[in-house]
Structure 1
Amino acid sequence: MLKKFLSISMALVLGSVVLAGCGKQSESEEIKLGAVFPLTGDVSVMGQACKNALQMLEEETNASGGINGKKVKFYFEDDENKPSNSANAIQKLINNNKVVGVVGSYASKCSISMGPIAASNKIPMISVSTSPKVTKNGGEYVFTSTFNDTFQGTIIADIAAKDVKAKTAAVLYDVGNDYDKGLNEFFTTNFEKSGGKVLASLTFNAGDQDFSAQLTNIKKLNPDVLVIPDYYGTVALIAKQARNLGITSTFIGGDGWDSPALFEIAGDAVNGSYFSNFFSTGDTTPAYVKFKENYEKKYNKAPDAISASSYNAGSLLIAAVKEAKSTEGDKIKDALKNISFEGVAGTTKYDSNRNAIMGGDVIKIENQKQIFVRKVSQ
């Protein structure tokens, strides 16, 4: 009887080991990737666009065989466009979900808070933000999927000088936002190099709704251009208030303008404005056209530039995992450093600071529509 009992016990133990082994094997068949974006909050339109793009990428990747035969799964966390939330979100993805790479976030301030955490855990991270501080502060595991604001500032200055033929400018920006501060600095430097003069750089605080005091001062200066380096919601409020005060300056901004919500809030106030971007909806490259067609089919709306950038970031991460033939962070990181990837942004390579080398587009707004003007090479 004892012998029979021991035999049954041993069989149960072996069975449980086999089942446990099967569970582990099944789990290993899924390559886990993380994504942190503002899915709620003041720029949730952009965060949802990023999520849409990555969910579509996940489906396409798995339909074509996954990553080296294994399915890929993106796990999403919401940072509400708050740096403290971004830090918590990436820690959750790393510690709880055991992701091997991360995409995000949208805002530079949030990506900056995430970078050191990714690096300390040796988890490669690809941001869609544009501040050079993202890679500088983050360390060797942190990359971007777009141009950075050092280059974007030159584009905005180029727009002012060449497209508007401006001689004078004013800037109105959020003093607590790294994205805004960087664009103010790099625009000012490059515009003055071209012979222009910045008459004033005025500031506001995040969450402000009334800009009448700053705009009244700007009206007195009557600059040829007013640079508003912020996100679509704030830009729309400033533009409407500026026009209501009688300011006739041409408005110029950066990639944060790129959202249909800009027109919903600002209406005709932004007609005649320009902004820089890393993609144009009028792009005719085959990879972008295919992405656009698939996105429209899936979501019944056209993609904006940030969704394309998110898709590009996710594609870069997946390509690096494939190239590394490993889920080890150091091997994925090394694959990214040396990658030459053909995607929706054309060929993406990285400079020595892990910033993507890519050109930019000049966009003009006419009748509440984006019109592609020209490309600017880096």
Structure 2
Amino acid sequence: MRPFPRLMVAVLLMSSAACEKKSAPASAPSPTPAAASTGGPAAEGPILLGQVGSLTGSEATFGQSAKHGIAMAVREANAAGGVKGRPLAVRVYDSQGRPEEAAQAAMRLINQDKVVVVLGEAASSNSLAMADKAQAAGVPMITPTSTHPDVTRKGDYIFRVCFIDSFQGGVMAKFARDTLQFERVAVLQDNKSAFSVGLADTFREAFVARGGQVPATESYSKGDTDFRAQLTTFKKLKPQALFVPGYYTDVALIARQARELGLAVPLLGGDGWESDRLFELSGGALEGGYYVNHYSVDNPDPRTQDFITRYKAEWKEAPDSVAALAYDAARLAIDAIGRAPDLSGRAVRDALAATRDFPGVGGTINLDAHRDAVKEAVILKVEGETRRFVTTVKP
């Protein structure tokens, strides 16, 4: 195992007036007798949040977008006076898109940095690895975009601000069957991704339940670059569409190879497609495809449009869904810290669990008994080098 300095990049964001003072950490209560005793957050200086994200690697746009959204939420909170009379800061570690790196980053945030809340990761496989560490230590964790149901099942300290795969997969299955009136849709899934496998499972079940057929399911593994064998199998079966619940890097390459083989059916997918690089990498091969997402820049909701205006002013680009949901996750954490009677893990956890009707920019958030967000989804269509808002689907 390599030492931490070669594993991750750390960034500390603070208001310019804030200086972190050294103090003995207060002891935080453990959620269970088996939980690790790591000490609690500092009693003075900035209240520290932690983020783990893929700042490098094949899904680097996810980590960078999340970093921007979280930083913006923290700066706005500090401009409004901070929380409990103290400024906020965030420490960021790079997971490189790998579960083992994500888990080690979470441990460092908890044991060394003494963060109050851990934010991240984007990918479900990475969040699953982190959740075990956060739960054992009794430190609340909020994932912005990990949709696999098992993430929050890791324990009562794990939360999310996005909908889960069963809702997302069902939305696309309903849209493909009822609106697009497809009868036969094949599935291509990433067997190394908990997100991809979970979404594929829920899509198949919901699509078949609505009278559709799935003539074949083929698999690949993250890092593969040749999908021609799977696509050739699909071409022989003549499906009306392909459901590809992968991440944008793989999806773009799959789309290009499908077109090269003459497989000109629409591709369907989930929120893993969301990246501006999708259009650059696919070279127009995803034209006419559809995917489920948490948010759209075309949503006329004033709250959403105000966020987009402020984000553009700060980062000189439109926010994608990862940025929007990371912003919501950070604001949800900040709100809970403000409502909690103290900064212990249990107190902040209980405040998070009590969240109702939180005004997120990606939709109003209510957390259910499983700490999953109950909120709306949107369907987007790929047109040229942009995505067009098609419809909103409520839970």
Q: Normalised by the shorter chain, which TM-score bucket?
A: over 0.9
Pick one of 361, 367, 370 that aligns with 2:378: 361
Matches within 5 A, 1:81-92: 81-92=97-108
Determine if contact 2:363/2:376 at 8 Å carries over to the other structure: no
Q: Distance in 1 between matches of 2:271 and 2:363?
A: 18
Quote the offset at 1:23 in angstroms. 5.0
Counterpart check, 1:287 vs 2:303: yes
Pick one of 143, 146, 150 that aligns with 2:166: 150
TM-score, length-scaled by structure 1:
0.92
Superposed CA offset, 1:54-78 (max 9, x none): 1111111100011122101011011
Determine if contact 1:295/1:303 at 8 Å carries over to the other structure: yes
Matches within 5 A, 1:241-280: 241-280=257-296
Return 5+ residue gaps in structure 1 as ranges.
Answer: 1-21
Partner of 1:17: none
> Which aligned segments of 4 or more residues in structure 1 are displaced greater than 2 angstroms?
22-27
Q: Distance in 1 between matches of 2:254 and 2:178?
A: 24
Counterpart check, 1:332 vs 2:348: yes
Matches within 5 A, 1:137-216: 138-216=154-232
Pick one of 43, 52, 55 that aligns with 1:36: 52
Return 5+ residue gaps in structure 2 as ranges.
Answer: 1-20, 25-41
Quote the offset at 1:224 in angstroms. 0.8
Partner of 1:97: 113
Partner of 1:315: 331
Identity %: 38
Determine if contact 1:159/1:274 at 8 Å carries over to the other structure: no
Q: Distance in 1 between matches of 2:178 and 2:250?
A: 26
Q: Distance in 2 between matches of 1:153 and 1:98?
A: 37
Q: Distance in 2 between matches of 1:287 and 1:123?
A: 30
Amino acid corresponding to residue 335 of structure 1 in structure 2: A
Amino acid corresponding to residue 300 of structure 1 in structure 2: K
The number of equivalent residue pairs is 356
Matches within 5 A, 1:8-23: 23=22
Q: Distance in 2 between matches of 1:23 and 1:144?
A: 32
Partner of 1:349: 366
Determine if contact 2:297/2:305 at 8 Å carries over to the other structure: no
Q: Distance in 2 between matches of 1:78 and 1:118?
A: 17
Q: Distance in 1 between matches of 2:178 and 2:363?
A: 26
Quote the offset at 1:294 in angstroms. 1.2
Counterpart check, 1:240 vs 2:256: yes
Q: Distance in 1 between matches of 2:169 and 2:113?
A: 37
Q: Distance in 2 between matches of 1:345 and 1:187?
A: 23
Determine if contact 1:270/1:368 at 8 Å carries over to the other structure: no
Cα gap change, 1:82/1:235 in structure 2, threshold over 3 Å: closer, same or farther? same
Quote the offset at 1:281 in angstroms. 1.3
Partner of 2:93: 77
Q: Distance in 2 between matches of 1:150 and 1:182?
A: 8
Quote the offset at 1:368 in angstroms. 2.2
Q: Distance in 1 between matches of 2:120 and 2:300?
A: 26
Partner of 2:9: none
Q: Distance in 2 between matches of 1:259 and 1:191?
A: 26
Superposed CA offset, 1:93-115 (max 9, x none): 11111101111001000000011
| Worse overlay, 344-353 or 227-236 | 344-353
Q: For 1:372, what is the secondary structure of its paired residue?
A: strand
| Worse overlay, 34-43 or 282-291 | 282-291
Partner of 1:12: none
| Worse overlay, 215-224 or 160-169 | 160-169
Superposed CA offset, 1:302-336 (max 9, x none): 10011101101111111111111321110111111
Q: For 2:170, what is the secondary structure of its paired residue?
A: helix
Amino acid corresponding to residue 135 of structure 1 in structure 2: T
Determine if contact 1:33/1:102 at 8 Å carries over to the other structure: yes
Amino acid corresponding to residue 371 of structure 1 in structure 2: R
Q: For 1:365, what is the secondary structure of its paired residue?
A: strand
Q: For 1:353, what is the secondary structure of its paired residue?
A: coil
Q: For 1:196, what is the secondary structure of its paired residue?
A: coil
Partner of 1:224: 240
Superposed CA offset, 1:225-262 (max 9, x none): 10010000000000000011111211100001011100
Amino acid corresponding to residue 36 of structure 1 in structure 2: V
Superposed CA offset, 1:124-172 (max 9, x none): 0001211001011x20000011001010010110221133210001001
Quote the offset at 1:30 in angstroms. 1.0
Q: Which has the larger radius of gyration?
A: 1
Amino acid corresponding to residue 47 of structure 1 in structure 2: G
Quote the offset at 1:344 in angstroms. 1.0
Q: Distance in 1 between matches of 2:305 and 2:105?
A: 33
Give the helix-richer structure, 1 or 2: 1
Partner of 1:370: 387
Partner of 1:106: 122
Superposed CA offset, 1:1-29 (max 9, x none): xxxxxxxxxxxxxxxxxxxxx75499613
